[in-house]
């Protein structure tokens, strides 16, 4: 099984919805949006430009553990400003390597300055599981001449 599929294919299946906040938003507003949208990170943008990523990890380490108020703290004070992003042509393997090296779980997919979407570690794991299942089914069909039922 190859992990050479470009991320653009995963993004086309997942969709390109991007949830974002401004640097002036409060951390409480951002955390509420994460809860409402059931996501673990938000992009921080201003006038369409990507400034950073705010994750649940940022919240727990920079607000909760430091005793700060999420109602009074603007997102700009805690966002991860060094953004690791990928192009639509990056592969699953390259994205997994970047996530591991940088200890991150979300990658903005960029075409130059344009945000195309966000890929999460969960998206990549789901793709790998689906690809493995497909490969197993193809091998079973090849070996036996017909699909093997698991029921």
CA distance to 18, 30, 57, 93, per residue, from 36 (Å): 14, 10, 17, 31
- Higher pLDDT pick, 135 / 115: 115
- Tell me the three state secondary structure of residue 109: strand
Segment 121-125 shows an average pLDDT of 92
Give the pLDDT of residue 43. 96
Domain CATH number, residue 101: 3.10.580.10
Domain count of the chain?
Answer: 1
Instruction: Kindly state whether residue 58 falls inside one of the protein's structural domains.
Output: yes
Instruction: Kindly state whether residue 149 falls inside one of the protein's structural domains.
Output: no
Instruction: Kindly state whether residue 151 falls inside one of the protein's structural domains.
Output: no
What confidence tens digit (pLDDT) does each residue in 11-47 have? Answer: 998 888 999 999 999 999 999 999 999 999 999 999 9
**Phi and psi (nearest 5°) for 35?**
-65, -45
Structure tokens at 18: 């991007």
pLDDT above 50 (res 122):
yes
Give the pLDDT of residue 1. 46
Torsion angle of the four alpha carbons 42, 22, 61, 14, in this order, in degrees rounded to the nearest 10: 0
Beta-carbon contacts of 140 under 8 Å, excluding residues fewer than 6 positions away, are: 147, 148
Q: Which 3-state string (H, E, C) describes 9-69?
A: HHHHHHCCCCCEECCCCEHHHHHHHHHHHCCCEEEEEECCEEEEEEEHHHHHHHHHCCCCC
The boundaries of the domain holding residue 56 are 7-144
């Amino acid at each position: 099984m190859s992990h050479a599929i470009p991320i653009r294919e995963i993004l086309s299946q997942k969709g390109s919805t991007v949830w974002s906040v401004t640097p002036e938003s409060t951390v409480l507003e951002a955390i509420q949006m994460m809860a409402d949208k059931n996501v673990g990170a938000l992009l921080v943008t201003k006038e369409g430009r990507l400034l950073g990523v705010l994750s649940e990890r940022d919240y727990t380490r920079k607000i909760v553990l430091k005793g700060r108020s999420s109602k009074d703290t603007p997102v700009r004070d805690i966002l991860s400003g060094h953004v690791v992003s990928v192009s639509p042509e990056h592969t699953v393997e390259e994205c997994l390597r970047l996530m591991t090296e940088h200890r991150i779980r979300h990658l903005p997919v960029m075409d130059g300055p344009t945000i195309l979407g966000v890929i999460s570690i969960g998206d990549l794991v789901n793709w790998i599981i689906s690809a493995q299942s497909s490969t197993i089914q193809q091998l079973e069909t090849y070996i036996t001449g017909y699909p093997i039922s698991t029921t």
